[in-house]
Structures are given as C-alpha cells and as structure tokens.
Chains A and B, each alone.
Chain A
C-alpha cells in the first residue's frame, strides 16, 4: 500500500509541472507527425528541370516527368539555378535537358539527359527511379518515330504520334520479393516514425524523472519518509515503481495516441506490451542509478538529457538503424534502444508475434535485470547513508 502511494505520487507530480504536460504529452505526437512527413507519404517532391522550353520534344519529356501526382516539375532558368536549388534542398533532384535535344533526336543523334541529386537525400532515390523509368519510356517512343522516319514510312512527328497511340505488348519486369523488405508495400510513414520515437521518449522521460528523485532526496523528503514507519525497502520500491509507472504511462500514451491520431498499427498486442514493459523497466533502473550517483541536481539534469538523447541517437531511434554502417550497427546494439527498435520492426513492419521477438526480449530483459537491481541498491544506499 505504501509502495503504491509513493509510486502514484510520482505520477501525480509529473503532471503538476505544465512544461511536463507539454513535453510528455504534446511533443511526442508532434515529433511523430513531423518524422512521418519526413519519411514520405503525401509529401510533394520538387523536380527541377532545365531546358524544357528548348523544343516540343523537350516539352514532352518535361510533361512526362510531371505525370506523377507527388512530383512537381519546377522549370529552372539555368543549369546554375538548378544546381543551387538541389544543393539547398529546394528541389529533391534536377533534370538537365540539353538545348540541342529536339534537333539531335530528329537527326538521329544520341542525346544525354543529366540527373542531379544530393548524395545524402534518400527521398531523391524514389524520384531518381521515376526519372530513370520515364526517360527510357519516352526514348522508346522517340526511337520508334526516328526509325519510321529513317525508313521513309512516315514523318518523325507522325511516327511519334502513331507510336504513342500504338498498344503493343511489351516486356515487363515482374518483381518477386524474397525475404523481408525493409519497408513493406503500403506501409504508413507513421508506422515507421512512431516505434523509434516511443523508445526515445519512454527512455528520455525516465531519465528526466531522475531529477525529481534527486530533488526528493535533497529536500529531505526521502529522509522524512524514512522517519515514518516505512522501511527503506518500501521507499525504494515505491520510487522504483514510480519511475516504472511514469515510463509505462509515456509509452502507453504514445502507443494509444499514435494509433488513434495516425492509425499506427503496433502489431501483436502481447509482444508490444512485453517490449514496452521491459523497456520501461530499463528506463526506471537507469533513472534510479543516475539519481543515486549525485548529490546535486545540476549534473543529473545534464546527464539525463545526454543519456536520453545520446543513447537514442546511437541506438537508431533518430536515424533508422537500417541506414547504419557495420561498425555503428554493432555499437548501436550495446544500447537497449537498438534491440527495442528491432523488436518493434518485427512486430510493426513484418506482422511478427511475441515468439518472433524472443531474442530482442531476452536481451532487453538482461538489460533490465542488471540495471533495475543495481538502481534499487544504489538508491537505497543513497537514502540511508
């Protein structure tokens, strides 16, 4: 009963501070929304094009590039303008149609269309695929028109018109996926954004809750609690349960809220609950440990932010773990975040069940079994010394 009273008081105090309400409730959903937008889905890509006005055939190509709903073709005045726009991210990518495009094609000469892209813009990969498929399709029609003109069957323009109207069976590539795709077809961008942010915020909120623990000790409240007929064990377990309740609350809020607001599907409820519970226990243990090390609030404030955000970054919850190099991938797996991330990937993206995430749950449980008892022991020592 006393353990519960201490635990619930922690949760109550969390919401006494209005800034906490903002950071715990509002910010995670804003971040999920923004990261969701960043990961794609509904976002308009800008494709800069230079030379579209050099002739009717150049105009045809430009128009063909703009037939996809999520790609906006933006005419650019010069090659320099296009380069600047791509470099500054004002355009996802750029296409440079040479000024001699029409003349060269009509004369049967080889034409080269250049594609500009930033090396680190992974959204431009999708635009690149579109450009690489659209240009050859247009080239095939032009080749047919050129061939008809060269054989004196008809004029180039008439040949182009007829080739366009022709419905001939062609060769298509049928793709069969084996193994797991990184992002399954139809996968919502919010499904991609929410799980790593759940891990980030659950851990970060646990870490910042360590500050309250130090304040309680420094203000003499912990000692006063100990002067009542309450054992040190009950006080420490109450404080631990308090941290656990806070972490679970944060995690559950993100799970339920994102499901409601962004239709995020968390997969097998049992698996998701198990991951959240074990990860919250890790956060609680880490918070208890951190709070017991220091006798002033300052270092705990700094370290809680450094650990909360640093481990999240290293663990792949800010930049997708899939994009990590070999060494960084290995380093990431020294954090609980990477294991939590992989667990949620299995549940959310691949429809796995609790049985499929047993390795991740096992490692996370090991983290919890080390951190939680260590945190409890250190906290008890801090209160009774």
Chain B
C-alpha cells in the first residue's frame, strides 16, 4: 500500500487553474520528485497534500486514511519543509524547535531529547541558543528542515529546500534527505534543479502549467522520449578507420567523425564504453579525452514542454 496516494488533485484561483488533475503515489522509503519550473504548480500541489490549502477536487490518502486540511490524525505522519524559512527569526534555534515540537504534541523529556537529536542532525548543536536572524542562509535552511523532522514523519514533504543556499549547505541538505530515505521515510521533493531530482529521486513527476505531464524512474522517462547516450572521443590517428571498425559493432546506433573527434550514439554508454575504447585502440587511434553525454531530465522536460526547466 502506498504511503501517499494523490488522485485528481485540482485547484483554481478564479479563471487560473493552478493544479489540474494531478495524480501520483509514493511508497514507503521511496523518494518522489516533483520537477518543474517556477509557477508550474508544485507548491500549490504540496500545500494541498500537507493539508494547509483546501482543494477544489481530488483526493489525498495518507497511510490509507483520507486526508484534508482538517485531518489532525494524518498530519501527525507528515513533516513539512516549506520553501520559505518558516521560522521565528527573533527566537533561537532551540526555541523554534521547542515551539513546533509542542504543536506536534511532544512534551517533557521526549521533547528535550528530540530537540537535541534534531540539533545534532542539522549540525546546529553549537548554535542552538542563537537567534535565527543571525544565521547564514544555509544554517536557517537546515533548521527549517529540522523543524520538519521533529515528529519523526513517515512522509517528509520538502518544497524547494535548497533554494538560495551555498553549494556546501546544498550538499549537506541532499545528504540528509538521502539518509532519511535510507531510514524508511517516504519523501516528496519538489525542485526545479534537474541535478537534485536525478540524484535523490527514485521516481520523478514532471509538472508544468499545473498538469503532471509524465512520471516514472529516470530511465523510464528518458526512454519515453527515445534519447540515447552520446560518446565523444577526442583522438589522434586514422579516425576514418576507427569509424569503420566501430560501425561494425551492432550495439552502436550511429558513428560519425570530424575535426579530431569521433561521436558515437549508443543506448547505454556506460556498459559499452570499454568495447568502444578497445575497438578504437585496435584501429591504431590514440584517444586523448572521452566524454559521455547521457540523456537527462532536462532534455525530457525540453522534449515534453518545448522549454527549459529554468525558463
């Protein structure tokens, strides 16, 4: 049974349809990415899923229980990390955690222990009693995530958690999400960074203009649009002979050469790269550099919508 089932989710503001018939499901310990540009409907979808925004139509089921804005029981299972730094900036990290812990119903020794655990997880133990307003962007982001973990959620919903943070903090955040997924938490992750979706997500849903265009694993998505890997070899020697030898390999889709390089189109570059290099070496050609361009979600998005993710 999926931990989260979303069916026919719809939300409109007057004439503008923000989310239109969005459906997907997330299993236990699965990380699902909602990938789309700004304004695609990711945050509106998430707001309805976590139960802070009424939906016009559709259904959200969490751990088998119907869920909406009034569902207190199912909200106990969700950890929500909003896009903005939703913290009291005039309070310390510890005070923020304590406040939200109380809203999750924690108290007494359990509350204190959990606060210390979270401070440790987000690496803010030594800054626990400092006000958030004095934190760097990355530290505030980490605390923002920490609040979402207070209740040991079964479903963690993160809305663009790395927006505006430095590369180091971004990496720390991504590692935290990976660790949580390893611990069995189901993660719903929205981003417009293709690299994050590719690194973190077991499955990805591509959303644009309020509609979920396609979903699946990275390979399934890439396969849907028929993309192939492209291997580029910078080489010296008889390139024409090398091209002829490569063309005899049935696994390769296309081989071409020009201006000191050979280009090979292949369905699985990683698997066939040793064979390609061996064949080229056998042709007496010396390879200087090798580049493998795998088809990515960016190209899938481009193919589906005709525009780039960051447009």
Measuring CB to CB, which residues of chain A are less than 8 angstroms from any residue of chain B?
1-2, 5, 9, 12-13, 16-17, 216, 219-221, 223-232, 384
CA distance A278 to B78 in the complex (A): 40
Q: Kindly list chain B residues whose C-beta atoms are within 8 Å of the C-beta of A220.
A: 82-86
Task: Report, as a range, how many residues of chain B touch the other chain.
Answer: 20 to 34
> What 17 additional pairs, Cβ within 8 angstroms, besides A220-B86, A229-B72?
A1-B102, A2-B103, A5-B103, A12-B91, A13-B88, A219-B84, A219-B86, A219-B87, A219-B88, A224-B80, A225-B103, A227-B50, A227-B51, A228-B75, A228-B103, A230-B103, A231-B70
Q: Kindly list chain A residues whose C-beta atoms are within 8 Å of the C-beta of B82.
A: 220, 223-224, 227
CA distance A226 to B86 in the complex (A): 12
CA distance A221 to B52 in the complex (A): 12
Chain A CB within 8 A of B147 CB: yes
Q: Kindly list chain B residues whose C-beta atoms are within 8 Å of the C-beta of A216.
A: 88
A182 to chain B, nearest CB (A): 45
Interface of A is mostly: helix
Contact A227:B99 (CB < 8 A) given known A219-B87, A220-B86: no
B161 to chain A, nearest CB (A): 13
Measuring CB to CB, which residues of chain B are less than 8 angstroms from any residue of chain A?
47, 50-52, 54, 69-70, 72-73, 75-76, 78, 80, 82-91, 95, 99-100, 102-105, 131, 147, 151
Contact A221:B86 (CB < 8 A) given known A1-B102, A2-B102, A5-B99: yes
CA distance A230 to B71 in the complex (A): 9
A41 to chain B, nearest CB (A): 41
Q: Can you name the residue of chain B whose Cβ is closest to the Cβ of A5?
A: B102
Q: Kindly list chain B residues whose C-beta atoms are within 8 Å of the C-beta of A225.
A: 100, 103
CA distance A231 to B71 in the complex (A): 8
Contact A229:B90 (CB < 8 A) given known A2-B102, A384-B69: no
- CB distance A227 to B91 under 8 Å? no
- CB distance B102 to A223 under 8 Å? no
B14 to chain A, nearest CB (A): 13
Q: Can you name the residue of chain A whose Cβ is closest to the Cβ of B159?
A: A220
Contact A229:B76 (CB < 8 A) given known A5-B103, A223-B47, A384-B69: yes
Q: Give 22 A-B contacts (CB < 8 Å), ordered by A residue.
A: A1-B102, A2-B103, A9-B88, A9-B91, A12-B91, A13-B90, A13-B91, A16-B90, A16-B91, A16-B131, A219-B88, A220-B84, A220-B86, A223-B82, A224-B147, A226-B51, A226-B52, A227-B50, A228-B100, A228-B103, A229-B103, A229-B105
CA distance A5 to B111 in the complex (A): 14
CA distance A12 to B103 in the complex (A): 17
- CB distance B86 to A224 under 8 Å? yes
B47 to chain A, nearest CB (A): 7
- CB distance A229 to B104 under 8 Å? yes
Q: Kindly list chain A residues whose C-beta atoms are within 8 Å of the C-beta of B99.
A: 5, 9
A22 to chain B, nearest CB (A): 16
B11 to chain A, nearest CB (A): 12
Q: Can you name the residue of chain B whose Cβ is closest to the Cβ of A13?
A: B90
A16 to chain B, nearest CB (A): 4
B69 to chain A, nearest CB (A): 7
- CB distance A227 to B78 under 8 Å? yes
CA distance A2 to B100 in the complex (A): 10
B54 to chain A, nearest CB (A): 7
CA distance A256 to B102 in the complex (A): 32
